[in-house]
């Protein structure tokens, strides 16, 4: 599990640690970790041309101290001071002592000739978009071929939300201190942070603001069937998706459920013929969900249309005292009567993409974690907000940010597959927020495996689900046959 902590949480823990450690010790730890990662990434120090972009706060201090270490190892380091009078005094002195060049924006030629650019303009103290002098320096430094490494947070990225207001440092790697901040793994920040390396500062952090599951976490939530299991004991999922004219969503969703947890999948709906032909393993009926036999969780909505019949089915399923996942057309219908969800006592999982989220009446400004959380609290439901980093929020504020996936998932039908995966996990009896987070993780892993063979389509994703389950089980050290 990767814990994500906000800037305020890190600052509070740092304040405690600062009071217990000699002056400057924490910054030394951070800068030493930073220099170590840089040396590992660059593979050498002697002759390495390094440019430091140095802002006026402690983030600049980290860059200056790390630059001093690199210079002592033989790198040709240039420190560009964006605010020369306010550069971290001890860090600047150390850089000068190590024999590095120190310049200001006025005489900063050759910024694009570095092998390594360290962005120490702003970290968790940055506010608003990059200011003009900082934006100019970033523009010139990133024009060259140098490796782009952000110190703590890429400057211009909001550490808590990942929002980029007005340009940000496009890092290939981010070396972050004390804790991974949410803004490094969600929204635009994720794209600007690149690979995130955590330098442990030994901070005593409280409960995280959000979490990211690992393969091992997901495997632990998904035990293999045991000797005492039968086809019913792993949970039976019911699916109402697709239509006679468009059976695709029913086929994909049913297949995804079968390939995730192949105990028993019941399909009930008008795509019955297509689903039966594609998946003889499923128990298929063309009747209404309420007549389909016992299930432990329902999926309703993908490709189901928005006519009166679909509206009746949605109300009927939501009236059952069982976990229900609502997606796609089901969300469009739900937007007319959110009380159908608010009144439920069994768990509900809603899986909107951005347009569906706003259609439900919620505001989606840049803060995706905040938006998912407030919708979840309002509806008393789990909200899985799809995206390149899917956010899952529970009504009690429990939040996960997904870390798997590939942009190749941006293709029709992959959302239907996600519904089937999460539905199957809901039926196993997992808490709804964990079923949604684990489902997003598996779906993303399947996407990565499928995309290894080139562009993927949604049915490739279904085919790769068993390999994704197998792959995450490797995270627990399961033997691989």
Ligand X SMILES: NC(=O)C1=CN([C@@H]2O[C@H](COP(=O)(O)OP(=O)(O)OC[C@H]3O[C@@H](n4cnc5c(N)ncnc54)[C@H](OP(=O)(O)O)[C@@H]3O)[C@@H](O)[C@H]2O)[C@@H](O)CC1
Give the whole-angstrom CA distance, residue 440 versus residue 422. 7
| Angle at the Cα of 363 from the Cα atoms of 188 and 301, rounded to 5 degrees | 95
Q: Does 410 bind ligand ADP (CB under 6 A)?
A: yes
Q: Does 105 bind ligand X (CB under 6 A)?
A: no
Which position's Cβ is nearest ligand X? Answer: 123
Listed ranges 116-124, 188-196, 311-319, 402-410: which one lies at the site for ligand X (CB under 6 A)? 116-124
Would the annotation count 152 as a binding residue? yes
Listed ranges 70-78, 111-119, 121-129, 388-396: which one lies at the site for ligand X (CB under 6 A)? 121-129
Give a three-class secondary structure readout of 182-196.
HHHCCHHHHHHHCEE
Q: Burial level of 228, CB count in 10 A (0-12/13-18/19+)?
A: exposed
Q: Which does 119 bind (CB under 5 to 8 A by kind): K ion, ligand ADP, ligand X, none?
A: K ion
The strand ranges marked E within 181-339 are 195-199, 210-212, 236-240, 264-268, 283-285, 297-300, 324-326
Give the whole-angstrom CA distance, residue 331 versus residue 206. 36
Q: Which does 316 bind (CB under 5 to 8 A by kind): K ion, ligand ADP, ligand X, none?
A: none
Size of the site for ligand ADP (CB under 6 A): 18
Instruction: Give Cβ neighbours of residue 159 (< 8 Å, ≥ 6 apart).
Output: 6, 7, 123, 124, 126, 152, 153, 181, 182, 183, 184, 189
Which of 12, 18, 377, 467 is the binder for ligand X (CB under 6 A)?
18
Residue-wise burial string across 328-343, b where 16 or more C-beta atoms lie within 10 A, e elsewhere: bbbbbbbeeebebbee
Q: Which does 399 bind (CB under 5 to 8 A by kind): ligand X, K ion, ligand ADP, none?
A: none
| Angle at the Cα of 159 from the Cα atoms of 153 and 161, rounded to 5 degrees | 140
Q: Which does 303 bind (CB under 5 to 8 A by kind): K ion, ligand X, ligand ADP, none?
A: none
Any idea which residue has 């009927």 for tokens?
A: 316
3-state SS class at 317: helix
CA dist 456 → 264, 441, 449, 460 (Å)? 27, 17, 10, 6
* Closest CB to ligand ADP among residues 9, 212: 212
* Closest CB to ligand X among residues 23, 230: 23
Q: Which does 329 bind (CB under 5 to 8 A by kind): K ion, ligand ADP, ligand X, none?
A: none
Would the annotation count 390 as a binding residue? yes
Give the whole-angstrom CA distance, residue 365 versus residue 153. 21
- We find the least distance from the C-beta atom of residue 402 to ligand ADP, in angstroms, to be 8
* Closest CB to ligand ADP among residues 117, 196: 196
Q: Which does 221 bind (CB under 5 to 8 A by kind): ligand X, ligand ADP, K ion, none?
A: none
Give the whole-angstrom CA distance, residue 451 versus residue 471. 15
Which of 4, 13, 26, 48 is the binder for ligand X (CB under 6 A)?
26
- We find the least distance from the C-beta atom of residue 419 to ligand ADP, in angstroms, to be 8
Instruction: Give Cβ neighbours of residue 413 (< 8 Å, ≥ 6 apart).
Output: 248, 249, 252, 457, 458, 459
* Closest CB to K ion among residues 82, 150: 150
Q: Which does 99 bind (CB under 5 to 8 A by kind): K ion, ligand X, ligand ADP, none?
A: none
Q: Does 30 bind ligand X (CB under 6 A)?
A: yes
Give the whole-angstrom CA distance, residue 163 versus residue 193. 12
| Angle at the Cα of 211 from the Cα atoms of 430 and 473, rounded to 5 degrees | 55
User: Residue 356 forms beta bridges with which residues?
Assistant: none
Which of 57, 79, 405, 420 is the binder for ligand ADP (CB under 6 A)?
405
Q: Does 122 bind ligand X (CB under 6 A)?
A: yes
Pattern 413-442, binding to ligand ADP, x per CB under 6 A? xxxx-x------------------------
- We find the least distance from the C-beta atom of residue 116 to ligand X, in angstroms, to be 17
- Contacts (CB under 6 A) with ligand X, residues 55-74: 55-60, 62
Give the whole-angstrom CA distance, residue 254 versus residue 285. 13
Residues 10 and 209 sit within 8 Å (Cβ to Cβ): no
CA dist 82 → 88, 261, 381, 459 (Å)? 12, 56, 47, 52
Listed ranges 52-60, 179-187, 379-387, 401-409: which one lies at the site for ligand X (CB under 6 A)? 52-60
Residues lying near ligand ADP in the complex (CB under 6 A) are found at 328, 353, 386-388, 390, 405-407, 409-410, 412-416, 418, 443
Query: Where is the binding site for AMP, in residues?
Result: 386-390, 415
Query: Where is the binding site for (6S)-NADPHX, in residues?
Result: 58-62, 123-129, 152, 249, 303, 353, 416
Query: Where is the binding site for K(+), in residues?
Result: 59, 119, 155
């Amino acid at each position: 599990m990767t814990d994500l902590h906000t800037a305020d949480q890190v600052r509070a823990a740092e304040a405690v640690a600062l009071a217990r450690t000699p002056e400057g010790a924490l910054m030394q730890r951070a800068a030493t970790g930073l220099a170590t990662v840089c040396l590992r990434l660059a593979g050498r120090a002697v002759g390495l041309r390094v440019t430091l972009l140095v802002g006026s706060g402690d983030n600049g201090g980290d860059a200056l101290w790390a630059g001093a270490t690199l210079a002592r190892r033989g790198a040709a380091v240039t420190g560009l001071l964006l605010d020369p009078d306010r550069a971290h005094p001890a860090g600047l002195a150390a850089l000068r002592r190590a024999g590095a060049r120190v310049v200001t924006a006025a005489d900063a030629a050759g910024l694009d000739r570095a092998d390594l650019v360290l962005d120490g303009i702003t970290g968790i103290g940055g506010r608003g978009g990059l200011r003009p002098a900082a934006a100019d320096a970033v523009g010139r430094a990133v024009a060259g071929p140098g490796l782009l490494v952000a110190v703590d947070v890429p400057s211009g990225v909001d550490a808590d939300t990942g929002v980029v207001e007005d340009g940000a440092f496009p890092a290939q790697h981010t070396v972050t201190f004390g804790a991974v901040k949410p803004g490094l793994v969600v929204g635009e920040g994720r794209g600007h942070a690149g690979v995130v390396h955590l330098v442990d500062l030994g901070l005593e952090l409280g409960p995280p603001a959000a979490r990211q599951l690992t393969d091992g976490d997901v495997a632990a939530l998904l035990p293999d069937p045991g000797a005492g299991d039968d086809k019913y004991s792993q949970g039976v999922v019911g699916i109402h998706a697709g239509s006679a004219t468009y059976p695709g969503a029913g086929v994909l969703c049913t297949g995804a459920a079968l390939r995730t947890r192949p105990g028993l999948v019941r399909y009930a709906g008008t795509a019955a013929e297509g689903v039966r032909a594609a998946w003889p393993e499923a128990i298929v009926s063309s009747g209404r969900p309420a007549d389909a036999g016992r299930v432990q969780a329902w999926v309703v909505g993908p490709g189901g249309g928005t006519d009166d019949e679909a509206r009746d089915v949605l109300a009927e399923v939501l009236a059952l005292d069982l976990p229900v996942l609502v997606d796609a057309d089901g969300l469009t219908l739900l937007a007319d009567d959110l009380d159908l969800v608010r009144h439920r006592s069994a768990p509900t999982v809603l899986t909107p993409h951005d347009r569906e989220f706003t259609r439900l009446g919620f505001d989606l400004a840049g803060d995706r974690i905040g938006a998912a959380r407030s919708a979840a609290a309002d509806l008393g439901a789990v909200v899985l907000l799809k995206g390149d980093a899917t956010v899952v929020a529970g009504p009690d504020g429990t939040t996960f940010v997904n870390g798997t996936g590939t942009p190749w998932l941006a293709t029709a039908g992959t959302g239907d597959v996600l519904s089937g995966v999460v539905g199957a996990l809901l039926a196993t009896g997992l808490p709804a927020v964990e079923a949604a987070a684990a489902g997003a993780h598996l779906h993303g892993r399947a996407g990565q495996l499928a995309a290894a063979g080139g562009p993927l389509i949604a049915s490739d994703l279904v085919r790769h689900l068993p390999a994704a389950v197998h792959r995450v089980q490797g995270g627990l050290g399961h033997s691989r046959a």
